A and B are shown apart, each in its own frame.
Chain A
């Protein structure tokens, strides 16, 4: 079935990018795996697992004309396509407050000390240009209690004046 690659693309957002990229890959015999696309600050961004019977150079040559046409930067890495082994998050952390330097770094450092593995992180800047607010959601897995996580995050809440909401995720399997 070919090699797995991670294709990263970044450019100015406009309608039709996903359609054009996926058509080129499909016509070249590519198979898409997991993907995450987001519009970040007006930019189109996507990370896309691609399985294709081709070497990295060939994939780059395939995408070059499209990259030029759509003004997209792209980057390709060979990866292991480890599908069907999802790790379930057991905690979800929501953070929001006045935007200020260091929120992510401080939150992530506290989590890392407890060997919290971040599986998903999404953040947005909202509010107004004069008074921006920062909103972040983290899902991850850690082998510790909710209260120990809360304890490690408490100093940040006090210091940064941000609001944190931490919950355990109890996946209902039925």
Chain B
């Protein structure tokens, strides 16, 4: 299908973009890479009077490393982040998960922040941000606020972003020395949205497991001093707590099974590579 008619603005600066959002926010949508928004416009699942294209705002095409996080600007594509020389060292989980995000042909335009703002329950990037305990930077003409991943994504395709706010950056905590990570995903085909995706972080005896694709948003559990013998029980509890349902792609039973089995695999892998 083709999109309904809409107006188009391509601001050159962040201030122009924020002014547009302040004026038209509730009738506008933000276009960065378009790999989630344009399909929805084409299928007429989204109806918007105005599309604000932020892809050419130079200030947003950034990757900045600070003492404790990697900050990725809203116009930075997934391909550019994947090719970033320091990624494997700074945020190894992203280096592991990004190849599962779509395909070469969509990562070339798709942005990291766009995927977070789209908030698909089975998308890999929101899962990574939630598992690592990262945050999202929102800006409007009213000011700036920083929301933790868990406070940002409030449900399936739903976030706490106000209509006049722009996701200007995402902050992924950088890996500490000795931290172990693991990622696994089951999808019908590589590049499809995950039936179940799991990310694990092991850090000095503390374990964190994030699960995507089952609940309406990524779900993260954390344990300390967990004995290996307790793993089946805690994973079984988690698998049931997620409340997965049958759909076109998989049964709830299959999803629970994946959480139990792959949960164990990724937690053990993360623990084994942590020092």
Is A bound to B? no
Binding site for A on B (CB under 8 A): none
